[in-house]
Amino acid sequence: MFSIREMDYETNEESERAFSRIPWAVEKVEDLNRQLISNRSVSTTRPWIGEYDKEKMEFRLIEPRGFFEPSFLQVVVRGRIAFRNDRTTINIKLRLGLQAFLVFLMIYLLTAVMMVEAISSVMSSVDKANIAGYALWILVFPVLGTFLLNRKLNAVEKKIENLFDLR
């Protein structure tokens, strides 16, 4: 899948020291994909669940959620820590989980279909009830979904900044 947001942070901290924060805050799992597909996660008090590889200096993280707390806006954090030009660079990519990707795909595809239908109905007849229904769909679902997604991405970004103490 593709990244929705990508951030690069630079810090004076050594790359090993920056990576050492991950095992303290992350409940390590063997297969993160299983957590994403089932839309459930392991029970933990840690702020993150994920996989990490110290040799490659890479990690994949998701936020934990309880059994009765399904998340429709699951964000996957992929990151890499590298040492370049006497500074440690932390590259973070935010991606949607599988179910969130499918929900947004459906919303935007249905919106495109509704827009085509609205344009064709305006061309054929002026039925104000249909136009109001199309306008309501176009204004509510994609706009509200995008707004909620942006809020979630901002919250995850702040959580990542707190994890690596990047403020």
Residue 96's domain is classified under what CATH number? 3.30.530
In a domain, 18, yes or no: yes
In a domain, 25, yes or no: yes
In a domain, 15, yes or no: yes
CA atoms within 13 A on the CB side of 133: 10
The whole domain housing 43 covers 5-100
In a domain, 87, yes or no: yes
In a domain, 105, yes or no: no
CA atoms within 13 A on the CB side of 122: 11
Strand, coil or helix: what is 127? coil
What total number of domains does the chain contain? 1
Enter the pTM of the model.
0.83
In a domain, 93, yes or no: yes
pLDDT in tens, the chain (167 residues): 688 999 999 998 898 999 999 999 988 888 777 776 665 666 677 888 889 999 999 999 988 876 666 567 889 999 999 988 889 999 999 999 888 888 899 989 988 888 887 777 766 766 666 677 777 877 788 888 899 999 999 999 999 999 998 87
CB atoms within 10 A of CB 90: 23
